[in-house]
Amino acid sequence: MAHAFPYTEIACPCTLNVSAADSARRTSVSVPQATDDDEEQTFNPHSPRANFSLYSPNDLLYCDDCHTIRCPRCWIEEIQVWYCPSCLFEIPGSAVKSDAEPAQLAGPFIQTCPYCSWTSLDAGIQFATSNHISDQLLKLRKPRSQEQNSDEAGVKAIVQGQDAPPILTLSHEAHFSNLTSFYKTLLNDAPTLNPYAVFAASPGASAYSSPSNLARIITMYSASPSKNPQKKVLPLREALTSAEGLALLPPPASLGSETEIIARMRETGYFDTASLEQQREAPINYEKRFHLGKDALWPVATLLRTRRTRRCSTCRHILSKPETKQGITKYRIKLLASEHILRFMLRPLNLPLISASGLLKPHSTILYVLVVRNPLFNPVKVTLATPSTTPGKVESRVTILCPDFTVGASGEGVGNEVWDDALRSSTSSSRQTSSALSASGHEGRHTSGVGFEDRVPEAGKVWERGRNWVSVVLEIVPGSLNPPSIPLSFETLSIRQDQSGTANAVPGAMREDSETIGEDDEEAVLKIPVLVRMEWDADAGAEGPEAGHKGEVAKEKRELAFWSVFCIGRIGA
Amino acid sequence: MTSRSSDASKKSSLLPASKPTLSEKAQFTGSHAVNIGEGAIIHPHARIRAEGGDVMIGKHSMLYERALVGTVDGGDVTIGEYVNIETGAVVEAKSVGDGTTVEVNAVVGKSAVLGRWCKVAPLERVEAGEVLEDFTVVYGDGQRRTDKTTKEHKEIRDLKKEAQIKAVQVISTMIPNFSAKWES
Ligand SMILES: [Zn+2]
Ligand SMILES: [Zn+2]
Ligand SMILES: [Zn+2]
């Protein structure tokens, strides 16, 4: 990831529910005693699944109707406007769907590039009307590919050696249909090998129509794979001949010999050959590197870009809406999650313990200051919970010295806040000045090593406190990448948890496999999952700057819980 | 068709066969002859420099704003018919063939020879002395290609000529014509 350590990520609660319910279902067959309590299940930031649930706080939105975080999986997008990426011309939705701009002049028409003077006539293409270009192109394309196929049934043989089957060259369309039918027959022939074949082979027909299919589906869902050992699923074989859809890369024989190609290039110049970008623009043009003349590059429609409105998938509330005006990239509405949930910032309290390489040293305690900032206009009661050892292959020990505290309400705007801090610092000690600065993130590195040598973090006590922020200390003992190979059991786990307060508890995994983890491994990154619970009294009915002024406003209890992941750094070997 | 004057400053002279459209704000310098064809248009702030030799502009050709045609010491410049020298382009070529377009801010060096129906895309260069065959397109930072459509289809060439005549007709109604001022 491109982030610089330390950084924080947030798992959208929606993804958490999915994965928790899902894993519960999966484990319920093999491990009946698995817990049903979803929330107690620790979020594992190293699991492959986590990739799909973790987001940077700035990428998340917030639904202020449902009062929860929204991520790309739980918002829906609506296309607001289509536009051309080259000229930014906006195309009305009706025109996009119907391509029905009325034809005005009588044809024939050709397409021409006003820059390089290429025209569709170079590829032998003329249009009868000036609209429905894609349709016309498709119609023009069909007879051509048939024509190509009809001469000698569309094939020319390249002899590949004596025993090998001849490799035939086909038009793009014939190649595609051969390959499609090859895969279909493959799936039909081997339905027992692949339980999903029934869906793949007959997308149109109902999968439940035949009794045998139904029986197969029932077995798929009723039996756990481990209890009902099946034949190993064989990998599907690939196409071997061009009748099955195999295409070889060397230029088709229709182009002529290499010397012919060279002679043609000498005549027309290198620049008249198709560029790689042009070849890749569409499969039709894939083999057109050295084609010149009539059947050269086929025109490909420009894909339009869109601007989208995002809505909450639960209540349809608009979460973000771009400005409709052309060329403005601002949003008219954008409910950022970071303006509705706590913001976290981490900085090391004692820099010297991080080695010069920037890697964390296993088994040596480091202290991090976690600054929790409240963007809401009401005080928030915060509870932070983290497993005493981090999940994953490398078990690091983590203690949040003060997991329960209340953060004050945010003022109206940043200006006020800065003013507040300035006032405070002029009346109190210089130590607090530096703390205020470090809390706002500007000089954290500078002050952390200097100002606090005399202070010792205490359990249960907030480290520092500002008007709408609180900082607490995290004690972290990075685990080792080479753990001792002691089998892990529930007993050792519980013992270790009991001892977790004492300094000499041995961190590091006790696992059966003594596999070593490399420094570049994803598991070598120290990631701390923290369950954050926010509780506050919101002004009923309204939230944001317009609320919270007039004396007695009805209050409403609110609660929000989500997993956050603190990514501290890489552990050295 | 051609006349000469010894006035070396702003006033060279010309004798159009039929009236071209010359803006009052067009600039003419040099003592050599300038010959402008029927239906041609010299836009405001276009410059014709007849210092190094004669300048001839063919029928139905256009010189746009701040375009410069001619040389200080490079000899005659002959621009063909149906030619467009776009805004800010500099043409010191020996000759430019019929139907050719030199686009915005493109540069054609001294004694270059451009064939018929060529196109020099915006900001492209044709070096001094270079010869472009008919139907050559200079584009994409020095690439060259042949405009096959125009080459192989006479009807396209005719359409282009027709369009140019129409454009010239429309524009000539919009630019106050001071050609009388330059006649001699
Ligand atoms: Zn909602
Ligand atoms: Zn979500
Ligand atoms: Zn082009």
Q: Which A residues in the span 236-295 are in contact with B, Cβ-Cβ below 8 Å?
A: 268-269, 271-272
Taking phi over 0 as left and psi of -120 to 50 as alpha, with beta for the rest, B47 belongs to beta
Distance from the alpha carbon of residue A333 to the mean position of ligand 1, in angstroms:
15
Q: What is the CA radius of gyration of chain B?
A: 15
Give me the numbers of helices (H) and strands (E) for chain A, helices first please: 12, 20
Would the CB atoms of A115 and B146 count as touching at under 8 Å?
no
Contacts by residues B107-111 (CB-CB < 8 Å, ≥ 24 positions apart): B110/B71, B110/B74, B110/B75, B111/B74, B111/B75
Residue bearing the bigger pLDDT, B150 or A302: B150
Q: What is the 3-state secondary structure (H, E, C) of A390-440?
A: CCCCCCCEEEECCCEEEECCCCCCHHHHHHHHHHHHHHCCHHHHHHHHHHC
Q: Do B144 and A271 touch (CB under 8 A)?
A: yes
Q: Which two tokens stand for residue A329?
A: 């990239």
Cα separation, A79 vs A480, in Å, equals 49
Q: Best of A109, A111, A116 to disrupt the B interface by mutation (most B CBs within 10 Å)?
A: A116
* Residue A345 pLDDT: 93
Nearest to A271 among B145, B148, B156 (CB): B145
Measured in whole angstroms, the distance separating CA A205 from the mean position of its chain's CA atoms is: 34
Whether the CB-CB separation of B60 and B77 falls below 8 Å is answered with no
Q: For residue A145, what pLDDT is reported? A: 60
DSSP A119-161: BGGGGT--BSSSS-HHHHHHHHHHHHHHHHHHGGGG--EE--S
Looking at chain B, the whole-number percentage of residues with pLDDT higher than 90 is: 76
- Chain B contacts in chain A segment 479-518 (CB below 8 A): none
Category of A318 on φ-ψ map: left (φ > 0), alpha (ψ -120 to 50) or beta = beta
Average pLDDT rounded to a whole number, residues B77-88: 97
* Among candidate residues A474, A471, A459, the one with its CA nearest the CA of residue A365: A474
Q: What is the ipTM of this complex?
A: 0.85
Which of A126, A129, A128, A133 is closest to A110 using CA atoms? A126
Q: Which pLDDT score is estimated for B12?
A: 43
- What is the reported pLDDT for A165? 44
Taking the C-alpha atoms of residue B154 and residue B160, their distance in angstroms, rounded to an integer, is 10
Pairing verdict, β A68-70 and A61-63: antiparallel
Q: Is A115 on the interface with B (CB under 8 A)?
A: yes
> Which one has a higher pLDDT value, B156 or A506?
B156
C-alpha A204, offset from chain centre: 31
Domain residue spans of chain A:
344-482+517-570
* Cα–Cα dist A438/A422, whole Å: 13
Residue B158 has pLDDT above 70, yes or no: yes
- Angle of the A430-439 helix axis to the A414-427 helix axis, nearest 10: 160
Q: Structure pTM?
A: 0.57
Query: Does the pLDDT of residue B44 top 90, yes or no?
Result: yes
Contact predicate A534/A341, CB 8 Å? yes
The sign one gets for the Cα dihedral A409, A410, A412, A418 is positive
Beta strands in A279-429 (DSSP E): 305-312, 318-322, 331-334, 343-348, 366-373, 380-385, 397-400, 404-407
**Min Cα–Cα distance to chain B from A110, Å:** 10
Per-residue model confidence (pLDDT) at position B106: 97
Query: Considering only residues 128 to 157 of chain B, which have any Cβ-Cβ distance to chain A shorter than 8 Å?
Result: 137, 139-140, 143-150, 152-153, 156
For chain B, domain boundaries: 18-174
> What residues have a C-beta under 5 A from ligand 1, the ion?
A 63, 65-66, 312, 314-315, 317
Instruction: Name residue, tokens 């010297």.
Output: A352
CA-to-CA separations, A159 to A168, A191, A381, in angstroms, rounded: 9, 35, 78
Q: Taking CB atoms and an 8 Å cutoff, what residues of chain A touch B143?
A: 271
Q: Which CATH architecture has domain B18-174?
A: 3 Solenoid (2.160)
Alpha helices per DSSP H over chain B: 148-152, 154-172, 179-182
- Count Cβ neighbours within 10 Å for each residue of B66-99 and write b for 16 or more, e otherwise: bbbbbbeebebbbbbbbbbbbbbbbbbbbbbbbb
Q: Which residues of B touch A126 (CB under 8 A)?
A: none
- Interchain proximity A117–B140, CB inside 8 Å: no
The pLDDT score that the predictor gives to residue A551 is 52
Neighbours of ion ligand 2 (CB under 5 A): A 12, 14, 71, 73-74
CB environment B105-142: b (16+ within 10 A), e (fewer) = ebbbbbbbbbbbbbbbbeebbbeeeeebebbbbbbeee
Residues 102-131 of B with CB under 8 A from A: 119, 121
Please, how many CA atoms are within 13 Å of residue A395, restricted to the half-sphere of its CB?
17
- The C-alpha atoms of residue A507 and residue A361 are separated, in whole angstroms, by 13
- The whole-number mean pLDDT for each consecutive block of 10 residues of chain A, a chain of 573 residues, reads 80 66 38 41 86 90 92 92 86 71 76 90 86 85 61 41 46 80 83 49 50 65 51 70 74 64 76 77 72 68 88 94 81 92 89 66 90 93 94 91 93 58 51 44 42 72 92 93 58 41 40 64 91 89 49 78 92 84
Name which of B140, B143, B148 is nearest A122 (Cβ-Cβ): B148
Other CB atoms within a 10 A radius of the CB of residue B169 amount to 13
